[in-house]
Structure formats: structure tokens, C-alpha cells
Amino acid sequence: MKPTLAFDVYGTLIDTQGVLDTLLQMMGEDAFAFSAAWRDKQLEYSFRRGLMDQYQDFSVCTRDALEFTCQSQQKHLSRIQKLALLEAYKTLPAFDDAPPALAALQQSGYPLFAFSNGSRAAVDQLLSAAGIIDSFQAIVSCEDVKSFKPNPKVYQHFLQTAQVDAQQAWLISSNPFDVIGAVAVNMKAAWVQRSQSQVFDPWDVSPTMTLESLHQLTHIES
């Protein structure tokens, strides 16, 4: 029996740096540092809200992180510009390897799920815009348990929703914190190292598999 594959969305299937085109029009070369800082703060806010049991939709983390980044980077964007950035975040592009890799895995009979911090509605819109929504049996959102990755509850929620044992489930993610969270509940996990400069956290935890591309998932086994 083929293992069930849970795909992280933001940063794994979907390129969060896809917002750069809009940012470049607004601030030129400063867009690169701004985009990275925005993404880092977005994740930080999700971690903090998860720890504090102060859940808000992931889009709130995204919006608040944008406000913080504007202040910290001293970029005075108008309300219309901020709304344009938040709208761009709803239709970010897929990485080039995502559509063909998902199609190959689906054709080979792997059960595929999208598993995300984002709300189900937001992820549905994102994957639909990227043209990959039909690859998945379902979207499993952390909103159902009112927390965020890497809270163990969200991985247990995935396993219950997908009706699969941890040892028969793989998380596919480019985010080390996500990989570590999955391994902590006995799932297997593939870390997609999207950049050679990306470093895995030096904890006493290792990914089950490290990939440079989603194409390398073709022969993944339980």
C-alpha cells in the first residue's frame, strides 16, 4: 500500500517569494529584504499565537506581519498598496516542479493531501489559482484545531482526518520546523531544501529524506 503524502503549501508547493513582482514595483531592490522579513515575521506570529492559544486566521498573521515589516523596514506604503500585496498573497505561483511532480504521484496512486496553516478557503483559492487543486483528495487546515504548525495537535488532526497511521504518512515540507513537528508525532518527513543556503535546525532530529526537488518523490515508500 502506498503511503499517504501530506504536502505543506506555503514555501513547499507555493512560492511565497512570488509576491516579489508586486514589491519590486513599489520599492525596487529593497523588495528582496522586505519579502524575506515579511515571511519570517508571518511565521513568528503564527508560532507565538499557537503558544499563547490566541488563534487568529493565518491571514491575520500575514496582515499583521506586513504592518510590522513596513514599520521595521521604514517603508511607508499606502492602504491601497498594502491591500494589493495581501491580494497578491492569495494567488501566489506554484514552484515549477510542483505541477508535474503532483501529477506523477497522483497517477501512481499515492493519496495526496494539502496540509496547511492557511484556512481551507484560502488554500483552496491558492491551489486553484496555481492550477494544482485537482491533485489533492482534500485540504486539511490547521484552522480546525485553532492552532498552527508545529503544535502536535495539528499533525494528529491530519492523521485523524486522512484516516492513516503515523507510520504510513509522510509530510513533505520545505520548512524545518514543520518537518521536526511531523517527526515528533512519528510521521515520516521529507525536507525539500529549496535553496542550498537553507540550513536544517541542529536539533537531535533529522528528516527521513532530504530532497532538492519534488521530482525526487516519485519512488517514496512507507
CATH (residue range 16-89)? 1.10.150.240
Which pLDDT belongs to residue 142?
96
Q: Which of 8, 15, 97, 178 is catalytic?
A: 8
pLDDT tens by residue, 17-38: 899 999 999 999 999 999 999 9
- Whose CA is closest to 88, among 194, 15, 157? 15
Question: What is residue 218's predicted lDDT score, i.e. its pLDDT?
Answer: 80
170 - beta bridge partners?
5, 188
- Average pLDDT of the chain is 96
How confident is the model over 97-124, as pLDDT tens digits? Answer: 999 999 999 999 999 999 999 999 999 9
The CATH number, out of the four listed (3.20.170.30, 3.60.15.10, 3.40.50.1000, 3.20.20.70), of the domain defined by the range 4-14+92-217: 3.40.50.1000
Q: How far is it, in rounded angstroms, from Cα 176 to Cα 199? A: 8
Confidence of residue 144 (pLDDT cuts 50, 70, 90): very high
Q: Where are the domains of the chain?
A: 4-14+92-217, 16-89
pLDDT of residue 90: 94
> What tens digit of pLDDT does each residue of 194-209 get?
999 999 999 999 999 9
* DSSP sequence for 26-46: HHGGGHHHHHHHHHHHHHHHH
Res 77: pLDDT: 97
pTM over 0.85: yes
Alpha carbon distance 219, 213 (integer Å)? 13
The pLDDT, as a whole number, for residue 220 is 83
Cell of 36: 524575506
pLDDT of residue 38: 96
pLDDT of residue 221: 78
Whether residue 56 is predicted with pLDDT greater than 80 in this model: the reply is: yes
40 is catalytic: no
Residue 64 has a pLDDT of 98
Q: Does 127 score more than 80 pLDDT? A: yes
- Quote the percentage of the chain above a pLDDT of 70: 100
Q: Do 16-89 and 4-14+92-217 have the same topology in CATH?
A: no
pLDDT in tens, 170-195: 999 999 999 999 999 999 999 999 99
Q: What letter does residue 147 receive in the DSSP assignment?
A: -
